[in-house]
Amino acid sequence: MGSIQESQYSDFRSEVVAGLSFFTPKQRIPVGTAILVPENGVTKESITPAFRPITIRGNTFQNRIWVAPMCMYSCQNGMFSDFHVAHYGQWAMRGCALIHLEATAVTARGRNTPQDAGIWSDAHIAPLKRVVDFVHSQSQKVAIQLQHAGRKGSVTPPWLGLRLVPDEFDGYANQVQGPTAEPWNENYATPGEMSEDEILETIEAFGQAARRAVEAGVDVIAVHGAHGYLLHSFASPATNKRTDRWGGSFENRIQFGVEIIRAIRRNIPETMPVFWKISAVDWLPKGEGWELEDTLRYIPILAAEGVDLFDVSSGGTDRRQQVQLGQQYQVPFAKAVKDLKLPNVFVAAVGWIRDAATVHDILSNGKADVVHVAREFLRDPNFVQRVALSTGTEVTWIDQYHRAPILPLIH
């Protein structure tokens, strides 16, 4: 089927999004944009911070409530499908300025589960582009989170118990990799300690994955450098026991991540933002793992290599972790990163962000620049509108839903 050609606005028809295989009107204003009425005192400065635009490397996002990456375990051979068009499309139509696609493996052996998304070959570009095109058609932007599971690979999805998958069920336990030959726990594979060649091949795989993502049209490259997956397991002394140039000192342990950013930057436009998800702490006793001091030392190095935003999470590295769960339990780590005051570096807060009051508190008190929301978007795809309604902010909906908006509670 040929692409739909663009038509012009008139009094009788809407402009059409060009270049698609389906018809959809072009949104007059990006969905989720605050409606400003200066004569009534509603200005960019007066609205709640969640709806103040933010610009990163020349890319402007109309609000600061973004969909966090969430694994869906719904791919065959790493390919995105109609499921993902529908899944991510729901948020594109409801005003999320940036939608992170799920963790997408840069190599087949780098998947968490056999059903993870992947981008290790050029064949993955076209299915990914279908998802990206739909999100773009609804006026939103797309980030893809590049990932390598490391020693957490070849397990079942969570609802099946995160057990090791046997070879006869498409498992790849004998291909699982890590910095050190030590398993996450007794239910996981014992990884092979990566050789020098395997490390260099993986660095290049991240670069090529970024190139493919650019070809698919994504707007932002995000890197999963947290939660005990491969990148963080190299950085943390709890999981990296190597004695070569990739282990031992802090400088050696972080070099893997530094080289990955360099490979990505070589393969993407200068104007494309790069985000990095980091575990701020391992939640282990002092001296046994990655600590906040390490994070605050690492982030300026990554920023100098071209990382624009840090998504600050924690934990996931060691099964002995003692996570101190609670309301905004990870936000102090984001605030500590923000307090570094690095120029042109932005910070995202994540974790248990469930209501408008929390969003408002984080953003209005300078704890982070944006919020990444996960489970609450699964529960309520209209979370952006819910935040707007509760903070008295009038925002745009997609034109086709022009009957949907409810007047704000506050004026």
Q: Catalytic residues, which ones?
A: 229
Pairing of the two strands 370-373 and 346-350: parallel
Rounded-to-integer distance, Cα 369 and Cα 363, Å = 6
Nearest to 220 by CA among 141, 127, 283, 125: 141
Query: For residue 349, is it left (φ>0), alpha (ψ between -120 and 50) or beta?
Result: beta
Q: What Cα–Cα distance (Å) separates residue 290 from each residue in 26, 67, 103?
A: 47, 27, 22
3-state secondary structure string across 213-279: HHHHCCCEEEEEECCCCHHHHHHCCCCCCCCCCCCCCHHHHHHHHHHHHHHHHHCCCCCCCEEEEEE
Cβ neighbours around 40 below 10 Å, total? 9
Q: How far apart are CA 206 and CA 234, in angstroms?
A: 15
Give the amino acid at 361: D
- In the chain, the amino acid numbered 192 is G
Taking the C-alpha atoms of residue 203 and residue 171, their distance in angstroms, rounded to an integer, is 23
Phi-psi group of 285: left, alpha or beta (phi > 0 → left; psi -120 to 50 → alpha; rest → beta): beta
State how far the Cα of 408 lies from the Cα of 33, in Å rounded to an integer: 14
Burial classification of residue 382, based on how many CB atoms lie within 10 Å of its CB (0-12 exposed, 13-18 middle, 19 or more buried): middle
